[in-house]
Amino acid sequence: MSIAQAAPVFLDLDRSVEKAVRLISEGARRGAGLVAFGETWLPGYPAWLDLCPGAASWDHPPAKRAHARLVENSAVIPGP
């Protein structure tokens, strides 16, 4: 088993999936039967919730834009 200690391509689902595939392949070459990623790896942890005043307010326009980008880059299950 292996744990991926790598950052995703923040808020870029397609490139993060490509990176995950590379990391999984690398882990498999090194003998890992399972490669684990953190639960928010796709599309990345919304760190602004902890750092920006008003970011947790759904009526805050910049927060709405950030959350919309997060949703646009989230994996849909089942999906491709």
Q: Where are the domains of the chain?
A: 2-72
pLDDT tens-digit map of 18-73 = 999 999 999 999 999 999 998 888 888 887 777 777 666 777 788 888 888 889 99
User: In sequence order, what are the residues at sequence separation of 6 or more whose Cβ sits closer than 8 angstroms to the Cβ of residue 67?
Assistant: 46, 58
Distance in angstroms (rounded) separating the CA atoms of residues 63 and 58:
7
DSSP three-state, residue 36: strand
Distance in angstroms (rounded) separating the CA atoms of residues 75 and 56:
22
63 vs 74 pLDDT, higher one: 74
pLDDT at res. 63: 80
What type of residue sits at position 62?
Answer: P
* Two tokens, residue 56: 């947790």
In the chain, DSSP assigns E strands to 2-3, 35-36
Residue 2 has pLDDT above 80, yes or no: no
